[in-house]
Amino acid sequence: MTTLAIDIGGTKLAAALVDSDLQIRDRRELPTPASKTPDALRAALKALVEPLQTQATHVAIASTGIIRDGVLLAINPLNLGGLVHFPLVQTLNDLTGLPTMAVNDAQAAAWAEYRALADEISDMAFITVSTGVGGGVVSNGKLLTGSGGLAGHLGHTLADPHGPLCGCGRVGCVEAIASGRGIAAAARDDLAGCDAKTIFVRAAQRHEQAMRLVAHSAAVVARLIADVKATTDCQCVVIGGSVGLAEGYLVLVESYLAQAPLAYHVKLQAAHYRHDAGLLGAALLAQGE
């Protein structure tokens, strides 16, 4: 049984073959198309899967957005260039002729990371700090998806009532401040127009504004983690995404969380599967594991 696993993010698309023993082969990446029309996304997905599909028995997709009845719905359409509705499962089924399933990217990653934890852990949360801020919660050994797929969308909880407008329509969401997009949007003067990756490079060079932007993101994520601890009493929180996994970021989040009262403290760790947690989680869920 070989899964063709696909991860659809706001910045990049990834695909790989995943064997039953969770070995990853032939991993490929493409940027998420800049003009995110349904046709552009379909064409990019076609280019991504064509070289892999003959070797797979089925397709498993981890995608940004809410997946309902196989359709990708955006809670924050800005993360998908305005795309709010995309027939994801049907598209991959048409492209490959293979049985296809899809799940939210952070929920998928949460499942893979939960499975990589010690057996005594029954309650955990996964947070991706990436284009957006996504989340997945495992409670008493079960992945929470909710009645309509919205469960775990931690990035759309309130960070600052006076903060920026989020693409989801609310004001001051965690995502609007702490995500890669949020960090870039807050940059001013010589950093205006820079992406989060560049801002992290400048922060490492001790650029004052860049350090402040990174620290603000980390402080907001630390407060989110305290809220998640209060809501779920999780035993650990796993952090992923390119911002979350950037050098020095987790240590910063830990230092802010340490300032919260003891009841909110929880063990933090970087994603065991790094940038492949979504791919592997989708494969595990498709394989019924």
| CA atoms of 162 and 144, how far apart (whole Å) | 30
| CA atoms of 268 and 91, how far apart (whole Å) | 37
Of the two residues 78 and 260, which places its CB atom closer to ligand ADP in the complex? 78
Residue 122 DSSP symbol: -
Binding mask 205-244 for ligand BMX (x = CB under 6 A): ----------------------------------------
| CA atoms of 31 and 14, how far apart (whole Å) | 9
- 10 sits near ligand BMX (criterion: CB under 6 A): yes
Which one of ligand ADP, ligand BMX, Zn ion, none interacts with residue 173, CB within 5 to 8 A by kind? Zn ion
Joined together, the tokens standing for residue 244 give 């979350």
Of the two residues 9 and 163, which places its CB atom closer to ligand BMX in the complex? 9
Strands (DSSP E) found in the chain? 3-8, 12-18, 24-31, 58-63, 66-68, 71-73, 85-86, 100-104, 124-129, 133-139, 142-143, 236-240, 267-270
Q: Among 33, 134, 163, 172, which residue sits at the site for ligand BMX (rule: CB under 6 A)?
A: 134
- 9 sits near ligand ADP (criterion: CB under 6 A): yes
| CA atoms of 266 and 5, how far apart (whole Å) | 31
Nearest distance from residue 165's CB to ligand ADP, in Å? 18
* Contact present, 99 and 59 (Cβ < 8 Å): yes
Of the two residues 10 and 149, which places its CB atom closer to ligand ADP in the complex? 10
Three-state SS at 169: coil
Q: Among 3, 53, 76, 217, which residue sits at the site for ligand BMX (rule: CB under 6 A)?
A: 76
- 195 sits near ligand ADP (criterion: CB under 6 A): yes
Which one of Zn ion, ligand ADP, ligand BMX, none interacts with residue 106, CB within 5 to 8 A by kind? ligand BMX
DSSP per residue over 230-267, as a string? HHH--SEEEEESTTTTSTTHHHHHHHHHTTS-GGG--E
Which one of Zn ion, ligand BMX, ligand ADP, none interacts with residue 166, CB within 5 to 8 A by kind? Zn ion
* Contact present, 13 and 61 (Cβ < 8 Å): no
What are the residues binding ligand ADP (CB under 6 A)?
9-12, 130-131, 180-181, 195-197, 200, 241-243, 246
What are the residues binding ligand BMX (CB under 6 A)?
9-10, 64-66, 74-76, 79-80, 104-106, 128, 130-132, 134, 153, 155, 175
Binding positions for Zn(2+) are 156, 166, 168, 173
Binding positions for ATP are 5-12, 132-139
